[in-house]
Amino acid sequence: MHHAKLRLRRALLLVPVLGLTLASAGCETLESLNPFNEREKPLPGARQPVFPEGVPGIDYNQAPPQPANSAYGLSTEPSAAPAAPASGTTPAR
């Protein structure tokens, strides 16, 4: 019986915490929850883009690289591998 009361107490303590978590997750910004009404001031100076033409070394027209585990689950049977050329023959061009 004591364990049941302890579980009920824990559940009742968890309900308000869960409710506040879900309520704050629905907020677009949490600035309105600031009890001290302090605003951050932006640093003085002009704003300039770091890479105005784009990041060097990045080709934006190329497809993104695939992750290392992208072949996971594909068949690795010997019949699926390309056949090795016979010795003494030259490959066709």
Tens-place pLDDT, residues 6-21: 888 888 888 888 888 8
- Residues contacting 24, CB < 8 A, separation 6+: 30, 33
Per the prediction, the chain carries an average pLDDT of 76
The whole-model pTM stands at 0.29
- Residues contacting 58, CB < 8 A, separation 6+: none
Virtual torsion, Cα 53, 57, 60, 65, nearest 10 deg:
-160
Residue 60 reports pLDDT greater than 70: yes
64 pLDDT band, cuts 50/70/90, is confident
- Per-residue pLDDT, 74: 61
How many CB atoms are closer than 10 A to CB 46? 4
Residue 34 reports pLDDT greater than 70: no
